[in-house]
Amino acid sequence: MFVTLDGRRITREFTPGCTLQMLLDELRTELPGSRLIVSVAVDGQLCDEDELEKALPRPLEPDAQIDLESADRCAVAVAALRSVARELGDIRPRLAQLTEELQAGQIVEAVRQVGQLVQVWQRCRDVLLQSGSLRGCDLTELIFSDRPLREHLLELAAKLRGIRDALDARDMVLLADLLHYEMPPLCQLWHDLLLAVADQIAEN
């Protein structure tokens, strides 16, 4: 088996018939605590999340090539926070367009796009909690705009429930109002919040 980590070949032998999960678990114990494996390629094929999940329990072939990349935990958290912040910045111009489509009766396409936007807002919560886990701390205790982040999370959850309820009730007038009045300032707040958290992590 040919195994590399960050371009360096791992020369020692691995247990015959070991799975990808076993190999990763073994190598993780040798990484500095500040780093984690962020990329896995099997026989030259980079694994996305779904492919990796399927590959983990499979025994590796004796001639398999496994190429791994690691990254600093702090850098991963900062990159993830800034990535979602950029997505939120891209959302704001789309909100006005979606409002117009709903008001014009273009319901099917508008609702589909609303679902995509909701997924971005949900990633705000996920990336915040995951970044805290990477840093080994509770980021929800940080203060932004004179309030702890946990309160901002509760507010975000309430806004998303409002959108869901409007969709469930097929109340397009309410949905258009939420997108027009409620979501733009929320997008701006979370855009700034995520960037502020990313900057704070990068500085520590």
Q: Mind listing the pLDDT tens digit for each residue in 143-181?
A: 999 999 999 999 999 999 999 999 999 999 999 999 999
Q: Mind listing the pLDDT tens digit for each residue in 46-65?
A: 999 899 999 999 999 999 99
pLDDT above 90: percentage of residues in the chain: 71
Q: Which CATH superfamily is domain 2-72 in?
A: Beta-grasp domain (3.10.20.30)
Map the chain to HEC letters: CEEEECCEEECCCCCCCCEHHHHHHHHHCCCCCCEEEEEEEECCEECCHHHHHHHCCCECCCCCEEEEEEEEHHHHHHHHHHHHHHHHHHHHHHHHHHHHHHHCCCHHHHHHHHHHHHHHHHHHHHHHHHHHHHHCCCHHHCEECCEEHHHHHHHHHHHHHHHHHHHHCCCHHHHHHHHHHHHHHHHHHHHHHHHHHHHHHHHC
In the structure, what pLDDT confidence band is assigned to residue 134 with cuts at 50, 70 and 90?
Answer: confident
